[in-house]
Amino acid sequence: MEAVLQQINTVPGVIGSLICRENGELAAHSFPPLFDGAILQNAADAVAESSVGLSSSTGDVKIIDLRYDDGRILVKPLQQSFLLLLCTKTLNLQLLVMSLNVATKKLEKLCQTRTTAPLSMAMPAVQPTRAMVLTTEKGILLQTEIMKSTANTFWDQMLDVVAINRTTSLEISNFFKTGAFKKIKLTNQVTGHSKSFPVRIINNDSEQRFTGKAVISLAIAETLRVNSNDQLLAELVVGGGRLGWEGI
């Protein structure tokens, strides 16, 4: 199902997509890592709570297009589920609809298969291999991963936020023995450029894809003069307080 969502995301103007059940259960999603599980679940709950209004006296609604200053949210009802798309203002709706005509049929079939699959057919969960987090005497070395969508105005509010997954955050807090933290100092060891940034935790990373990585915007990359896969030295900014990264 995620593969179909990723295909939808290739349509110019689509930032991310998710599938949720009528009861609000988040079935699958394909969003940039800055959107953690809590944000996506809140979106799924909002769609489910409004599902009663997604029909009218003339029949079911084919697609809902909500337009905002910074982007658009589209909701398409499927069989016992909903497809939600987060898009930019410049989205070509006609092009998207053409892609959805094929994709929604696949999604409906996959949703039905997952719902009706017998327990005997369930595959055992595969335990992800724990990625290694590199340390030095001064701090933690993180690999840079640069977001590619920060040119859109939608990302303005996230330009100065560094995203790390839960495993990486625990490694950092354990290294400095300070517990919770809300900010992190990143340093380009080659050029010496450094700055402190707020931290956002990536909760939905069961495959540990982002372990040992710092996901940053293009603006932060320019500030630190780094490219993708470059290493950054991560140090803690004292003052995480009671909320710490759990409250981000």
Structural tokens at position 86: 């987060």
Residue 194: what pLDDT? 94
Residue 158: what pLDDT? 53
pTM more than 0.85: no
Q: Which of 43-47, 99-103, 120-124 has the lowest mean pLDDT?
A: 120-124
d(CA 88, CA 73): 9
Contact 226, 135 (CB under 8 A): no
Structural tokens at position 54: 């997604």
Compare 204 and 40 and report the one with higher pLDDT: 40
Residue 122: what pLDDT? 43
Q: Which amino acid is at 96?
A: L
Strand 59-60 and strand 55-56: pairing? antiparallel
Contacts of residue 18, Cβ cutoff 8 Å, sequence gap at least 6: 5, 26, 27, 28, 29, 30, 31, 40, 43, 44, 83, 84
Compare 156 and 171 and report the one with higher pLDDT: 171
Mean pLDDT (whole number) for 173-178: 86
Instruction: Give all domains of the chain, ordered by start, each with its CATH number.
Output: 2-117 (3.30.450.30), 134-247 (2.40.40.20)
Residue 47: what pLDDT? 83
- Per-residue confidence at 112, pLDDT binned at 50, 70, 90? confident
- Per-residue confidence at 135, pLDDT binned at 50, 70, 90? confident
Mean pLDDT (whole number) for 134-144: 89
